[in-house]
A and B are shown apart, each in its own frame.
Chain A
Amino acid sequence: MADIKVAAYICKGCGLGERLDTDALVKIAQKDGKVPLAKSHDFLCNADGVAMIRNDIANEGVTHIMIGACSRRAKTEAFFFPENAVARANLREGVIWIRPDTDEARETTQEMAEDYIRMGCAEVKSMTAPGGNTNTGSSKTLLVVGGGVTGMTTAIEASKTGYPVVLVEKTGELGGWAARLYKRVPVHEPYKSPADTGVGDLVAQVQGDSNIKVYLNATVAKTDGAPGRFVVDIATESGATHTEDIGAIVQASGFTLYDMNKLPELGGGKSPNVVDQAGLEALAKAAAAGDGVIRRPSDGQPVKSVVFVQCAGQRDPSGTHLAYCSGVCCNTSIKQAMYFKDANPSVDTTIIYTDLRTPGNGEDFYRSAQEKGVIFTKGKVAQVLPNGATSTVKFHDLILDDTDAAMADVDLVVLATGQVANSGVDIFAAPKTAEEEAAVEVKPISILNLTYRQGPDVPQLKQGFTDSHFICFPYETRRTGIYTAGPVRRPMDIAQAREDATGAALKAIQALENAELGRAAHPRSGDLSFPKVRLEGCTQCKRCTVECPFGAIDEDEKRFPVFNESRCRRCGTCMGACPVRVISFENYSVNSVGAQIKAVDIPDEFSEKPRILILACENDAYPALDMAGMNRNEYSAFVRVIPIRCLGSVNTIWVTDALNAGYDGVMMMGCKSGDEYQCHFVKGSELGRVRMSKIDDTLKTLNLESERVRDLEVAITDIERVPEMINKYAAELVAVGPSPFKGF
């Protein structure tokens, strides 16, 4: 390790000087923290204070900085030293703001501050300023999988930004689903009539762009590598394989209509005159090519009456069909009803729906259909009974509450069946029994064929759409540098898919640019730290490779982990999982947290001063504690808080070390896990919890009570709840009694 020089700076502003003995803190930094340079300042974050630190860096050779002042979340502009290792001891939000300003509290408050100084000094000494991953690639080419509207838009937009694109389409032509449409739902005012699809124009743009290389009748046979240095094998129909160097990937593999043959009760597959929305588009296209009259498939007679059955095989709570709404079928049926009405207003068109869903300006389109004479009936279709060339539609009329309503002699029935994502293999699906496996009619085919240890495709949500943080960060999949766009990640129409594709193009470009610079992608964007492993200590247990929420770690033939740094999101789950503790980051490691735990001064068992370690998720629990401080919500002076990247990064050694050192209890605060996860590393908090659920065994071997470790779900708004939990726990620990390990 290069020479390091640590300096500690203690701020006296914001009441710290009045509430704390800052001279004593300086001495603690020197004596216990063993830093060669320790100073206090009246107002550390002002220009003068910052200049003092900068001067010490420039002239005193200071490399490592410990700032004892406010929270690491405050005054980030003043204390911005990207070239140095920096630790922040949170004396303001974490100490004086959560303690009463009384004579009785003074001693314990000071002890708290002193411990944070010891911890800060210990932490910063075990850190180095991260230098960035050097195992990078520099490919600037995007791979787009899928040649529909989404894929073509991604390709065109990336090319416009100056990046070359390789586009792979499994069929013999570009255009995808949209090419099968007669017209689309309008996207410009006045939103009154179906509009041209625009697909032809997109195809022409792709074909005319020398920066876009198109493989038709082609699939991705193998995807190897990492952002910036993917190596992708593309298999073509002729049997030839082409290898491309790729920087980042956009998966735009689209959707398939839900199979109407699964809906025999609605006439699916029972009559040629019962079609799905694709079937109707084909009829409309055929009509447009002929005399403009849409004809009954069975006998070619003009359609005089048509019924649209909304939510066919959708919004089904029973689990038999799709549970979700596809969001686009209402507008599609309205559009299709207009195909009839615009050509011949005397055709009877009825849309039977339960909730008509035409958001935004779709409302104008809906209104236009009403003006054109399309009938909207609120009801639930129970049965479609084909009888010769016509059908009878039986439904529950929800307005009249008539369970026996029916429409007879309907020429054509259109089932609005909805979108099923083409998302490939569900790599985390529960293993099937041989019997169930045999019963599956069509096995999913992998889209990407990733060589990743965790499986060939991007992880999915329960409905089969690709997983992402779909509220704040909708693009963040669980495979770094691979973004999904279009209906593969949420049912959507052309307008939304084009917007989505454009955003995905940006994310892919950003990913390959940052990968080349050795920087992390979201949510620790720009982070230059990355996991380093001491392979000589590795026992090939594979926990890191199994647990990594982002599939960043593969295995070599001897089952040693192979880290793909550019796939890593820096959550530290691998570090938490490693039983032999050989994985670390330059600025966050088993040692950097362990050293803080050990730095705390543990009073003896007769002092009646218990010590509680809190490991708090830096994104939610830690800000909640900060805001509790801003609100002056008091909590026990016996806790010592350490921010962690994610609950997933918590190594059990920290817990056992703390208990062995005489801490009386440990509280772990992480985000909600499960289907409705709130963890920004998706699975981090869940994996951390699974790991900690086994801590009871450890406690037993130490002969300790199970109450000594708490796993808590904490949200960022818990500014009152967290102090309450802390105080309650501190009181409970009094009942449990002091740890027997004190003084050893």
Chain B
Amino acid sequence: MTEHVATNETILVVGGGISGMTAALEAAETGKNVVLVEKNPALGGRTSQLYRYFPKLCHPTCGLEINLRRLKNNPRVRVLTLAEVTGLSGSTGNYTASIKIKPRYVNENCTACGDCERAVDTMVDDPFNYNLGQHKAAFLPNAMAYPQRYVLDPAIIGSADADKARAACKYGAVDLDMQEETIQVKAGAVVWATGWQPYDAAKIQPYGYGRFKNVITSVEFERLADIHGPTGGKILRPSDGKEAKNIAFIQCAGSRDENHLRHCSRICCMASLKQTHYVREKYPEDGKSTIYYIDIRAIDRFEDFYQKVQADPSVSFIKSKVAKITEDEHGNAVCHGVNTEGYKRYTTPHDLVVLAVGMEPSVKGINIPGHIVADSSGFIEADPANGAVFGAGCASNALDVNRAVQSATAAALRAIQVVNKVAKAEA
């Protein structure tokens, strides 16, 4: 929370989701100085955009609250938001990272009182809600945002709205002259925890994502169920705002498919099983879920969660890779395919289709340092050639939260081993 000078005994953590926060906090609570770099304006990453976790159906924001409290009390972690690592030079024990920091246009005087938000008229897409809704161009990224500080969308800079925001702030927190800057940060070791992105569902052409409004992705569905989401927690279909009660979940949307992602993304089966709970929670009387699957991968202790969902009469399972989706005259999404258990053809309309999209590592295609070894899917491998850059969480494999936390904790130790050596050499 406070500024400390980064040295080659500092650990640089790239990515402020659950993995990055875990790596940073575990290292800091072991007495190491950490610089935590997050590209979004607030920490939390994708888990903070989930409504509930499997299998406990508890809320990710609960664990986030604990992690944020750990962070607020720990002067060893310096947090940089709206920041991206653009270059990494040096070697084990002696790295220099170039970090590009975008302007927030709001300084630390901000009290999160919300006066700027009320003053501004422009609405912009809300990425926290996967652009399913909009928010004001002066916004707090989410209810749990840390830093708890507003952001001005660059779209209004130079407009009258920006001036309104500045005029509304009694505390001199709005600073329209902020510029993008690039800083250099020293580090002895790096934990690369840039997480994952949902596979681009539009690439699965037969499913019509982007063409049919009532075909959405599993991550978008999380936002529909969440009270902080665009519908205030109501499951409404995007085309006409009607209650979506008959919902299809399509597994392996992009995963286990050589045309898309070769790997199994591990979490999607459990995520869909979990999401059937949302349907029952919101529509206890007449909600209906159908899961189209190849194999249900409710791995290890999660099996009993699967068994409970199987016992629920409102949920049916169809072993089938859906061949295509069409749209009928009522706006329903119609699933076509063959149920391989008994080889029966089906043509089934649903109010809403949720594509359980796969996990693609975020490192793929973005600025990872050239010498970092990743497998052909883009996951960082454990390879001596990586020096003291350690992949963690979903940057290293398709993982659920508990495995991502394990991975991040392990990565933190690997980083500590390096900076301990540096400290010993310097002593």
Interface residues of A (CB under 8 A from B): 13-15, 43, 45-46, 70, 73-77, 80, 157, 160-162, 188-189, 314-315, 317, 323-327, 353, 355-364, 367, 378, 398-401, 461, 463, 465, 470-475, 490-492, 496, 499-500, 502-507, 509-510, 513-514, 523, 525-526, 619-620, 623, 627, 630-631, 671-672, 676, 678, 680, 715-717, 719-720
Is B375 an interface residue, CB under 8 A from the partner? yes
Stretch touching chain A among B53-61, B214-222, B284-292: B53-61
Contacts of B228 in A (CB 8 A): 717, 719
Report chain B residues within 8 Å CB of A378: 319, 341
Instruction: Evaluate contact between B341 and A399: CB separation under 8 angstroms.
Output: yes
**Residues on the A chain within 8 Å of B256, using CB:** 363
Known: A13-B113, A355-B295, A506-B26. A490 touches B300 (CB 8 A): yes
Query: With an 8 A cutoff between CB atoms, is B157 at the interface?
Result: no
Partner of B301, one of A490, A630, A676: A490
A-B contact pairs, 10 of them (CB 8 A): A74-B148, A359-B264, A465-B301, A491-B301, A503-B409, A503-B413, A630-B112, A630-B140, A716-B61, A717-B51
CA distance A348 to B290 in the complex (A): 36
For the complex, what is the distance from the CA of A471 to the CA of B108, rounded to whole Å? 33
A-contact 0/1 string along B322-348, CB 8 Å cutoff: 000000000000000000111100000
Q: Nearest Cβ in chain A — how far from B333, in angstroms? A: 26
Are A631 and B413 in touch, CB under 8 angstroms? no
Chain B residues 373-427 with CB under 8 Å of chain A are 375-377, 379, 381, 397-399, 401-403, 405-410, 412-414, 416-417, 420, 424
State whether the Cβ of B203 lies closer than 8 Å to any Cβ in chain A: no
Q: B304 at the A/B interface (Cβ < 8 Å)?
A: yes
Considering the complex, which residues of chain B in the window 254-268 have a beta carbon less than 8 Å from any beta carbon of chain A?
Answer: 255-256, 262-266
- Do A526 and B73 have beta carbons less than 8 Å apart? yes
Contact of B113 among A15, A509, A720 (CB under 8 A): A15
> Could you say which of B5-13, B62-70, B80-88 contacts chain A?
B62-70
Given contacts A513-B30, A514-B29, A619-B66, contact A715 B299 (CB under 8 A): no
Closest 9 CB pairs of A and B: A472-B63, A503-B409, A502-B410, A327-B300, A506-B413, A359-B266, A355-B295, A76-B72, A14-B113
Task: Evaluate contact between B65 and A620: CB separation under 8 angstroms.
Answer: yes
Closest to B268 in A: A359
Contacts A157-B413, A472-B67 known; list 5 others, CB within 8 Å: A499-B407, A502-B410, A503-B409, A506-B410, A525-B74
Alpha-carbon separation in the docked complex, A466 to B266 (Å): 23
Q: Secondary structure of the B side of the interface? A: loop
The listed residue with most A CB atoms (<10 A of its CB), out of B2, B56, B300, is B300
For A75, what are the chain B residues with a Cβ–Cβ distance below 8 Å? Answer: 111, 148
Interface check B109, CB cutoff 8 A: yes
Tell me whether B226 is interfacial, beta carbon within 8 Å: yes
Closest to A311 in B: B303
Q: Report yes or no: B414 in contact with A502, Cβ–Cβ below 8 A.
A: yes
B113 touches A474 (CB 8 A): no
Given contacts A13-B113, A474-B402, A499-B407, contact A623 B65 (CB under 8 A): yes
B296 near A: Cβ within 8 Å? yes
B-chain residues with CB within 8 Å of residue A463 when the two chains form the complex: 301
CB distance from A466 to the nearest CB of B (A): 12
Q: Which of A363, A510, A623 has the most CB of B within 10 A?
A: A363
Q: Are A715 and B300 in contact (CB under 8 A)?
A: no
- A369 → B minimal CB distance (Å): 14
**Taking the nearest CB of chain B, how far is it from the CB of A488, in angstroms?**
13
Contact A161 B416 (CB under 8 A): yes
Residues of A within 8 A of B74 (CB): 525-526
The answer to whether the Cβ of B18 comes within 8 Å of any Cβ in the partner chain is yes
Q: Mark B205-230, 1 if CB is under 8 A from A, else 0.
A: 00000000000000000000011100
Give, as a whole number of angstroms, the nearest-CB distance from B26 to chain A: 6
B1 within 8 Å of A (CB atoms): yes
Q: How far is the CA of A716 from the CA of B52 in the complex (A)?
A: 11
Flag if A627 contacts B303 (CB, 8 Å). Answer: no
Q: List residues of chain A with CB within 8 A of the CB of B406.
A: 474-475, 496, 499-500, 503
CB distance from B232 to the nearest CB of A (A): 8
Contact check: which of A353, A461, A470, A472 meets B18 at CB < 8 Å? Answer: A472
Residues of A within 8 A of B55 (CB): 676
Q: How many contacts A-B (CB < 8 Å)?
A: 239
**Given A76-B72, A363-B262, A474-B406, do A46 and B296 touch, yes or no (CB 8 Å)?**
no
Decide: A715 and B58 in contact? CB cutoff 8 A: yes
A-contact bits for B160-197, CB 8 A (1 contact / 0 none) = 00000000001100000000000000000000000000
Q: How far is the CB of A19 from chain B (nearest CB, A)?
A: 12
Q: Across the two chains, which residue of chain B brings its CB closest to A502?
A: B410
Give, as a whole number of angstroms, the nearest-CB distance from A33 to chain B: 24
In the bound complex, residues from chain A placing their C-beta under 8 Å from that of B366 are none
The answer for the CA separation of A671 and B66 in the assembled complex, in Å, is: 14
Q: A472-B66, A503-B409 are in contact. Are A672 and B300 (CB under 8 A)?
A: no
CA gap between A499 and B382 in the complex, in Å: 11
Known contacts: A474-B405, A716-B59. The answer to whether A325 contacts B1 by CB under 8 A is: no
Give the Cβ gap from B131 to chain A, nearest Cβ, in Å.
Answer: 21
- Residue in B30, B109, B297, B407 whose beta carbon sits within 8 Å of that of A509 in the complex: B30
Contacts of B226 in A (CB 8 A): 717
Q: CB-CB contacts of B7-49 with A at 8 A, as 1s and 0s?
A: 0000000000010000001100111000000000000000000
Distance in Å from the Cβ of A667 to the closest Cβ of chain B?
Answer: 20
Closest residue on chain A to residue B255 by CB atoms: A363
A352 to chain B, nearest CB (A): 13
Which chain B residue shows the least CB distance to A328?
Answer: B300
Q: When the two chains form the complex, which single residue of A13, A398, A504, A525 contacts B170, counting CB atoms closer than 8 Å?
A: A13
Q: How far is the CA of A719 from the CA of B227 in the complex (A)?
A: 8
B303 touches A323 (CB 8 A): yes
CA of A627 to CA of B144, assembled, Å? 8
The distance from the CB of B138 to the nearest CB of chain A, in whole angstroms, is 15
A496-B403 contact in complex given A325-B303, A327-B300, C-beta closer than 8 Å: yes
- Chain A residues closer than 8 Å to B307, beta-carbon distance: 315, 317, 323
Contact A356/B300 with A619-B65, A716-B65 known, Cβ cut-off 8 Å = no
A492 surroundings in chain B (CB, below 8 A): 300
* B contact residues around A523 at 8 Å (CB): 66, 70
A673, B424: Cα distance in complex, Å: 47
Contact in complex: A323, B304 (CB < 8 Å): yes
Question: Roughly how many angstroms separate A188 CA and B382 CA in the complex, as a whole number?
Answer: 9
- Contacts A14-B113, A471-B402: A77 and B72 contacting too (C-beta < 8 A)? yes
Q: In the complex, which residues of chain A have a beta carbon less than 8 angstroms from the beta carbon of B399? A: 360
A355 contact set on B, CB distance < 8 A: 295-298
Q: Report the nearest A residue to B376, measured CB to CB.
A: A189
Is there an interface contact between B65 and A359, defined as CB atoms closer than 8 Å?
no
Given contacts A502-B414, A715-B62, A717-B226, contact A43 B171 (CB under 8 A): yes
User: In the bound complex, how far is the Cα of B343 from the Cα of A324, in angstroms?
Assistant: 29
- Of the candidates A76, A314, A363, A510, which one forms a contact with B26 in the assembled complex, judged by CB atoms under 8 Å apart? A510
- Give the interface centre of A45, A80, A359, A500 by most chain B CB atoms within 10 Å: A359
Contacts of A43 in B (CB 8 A): 111, 170-171
User: Within the assembled complex, what's the spacing in Å between the Cα atoms of A323 and B303?
Assistant: 7
Q: Chain B 108-134 against A: per-residue CB contact (8 Å), 1 yes, 0 no?
A: 110111000000000000000000000
Q: Are A364 and B263 in contact (CB under 8 A)?
A: yes
Q: What residues of B have a CB within 8 angstroms of the CB of A13 in the complex? A: 111, 113, 170-171
Contacts of B376 in A (CB 8 A): 189
B295 near A357: Cβ-Cβ < 8 Å: yes
Nearest opposing residue in chain B for A620, CB measure: B62
Once the chains bind, are B300 and A324 in contact (CB under 8 Å)?
yes
Residues of A within 8 A of B66 (CB): 472-473, 523, 619, 680
Q: Which residues of B contact A620 (CB under 8 A)?
A: 62, 65
Interface residue from B171, B405, B417 paired with A472 (Cβ < 8 Å): B405
Residue with the greatest number of chain A CB neighbours at <10 A, chosen from B53, B57, B417: B417
Please measure, in the bound complex, the distance between the C-alpha atom of A382 and the C-alpha atom of B259, giving whole angstroms: 37
Bound complex: CA A363 to CA B295 (Å): 12
Which residue of chain B lies nearest to A157 when distances are taken between CB atoms in the complex?
Answer: B413
The CA of A471 and the CA of B144, in the complex, are separated in Å by: 19
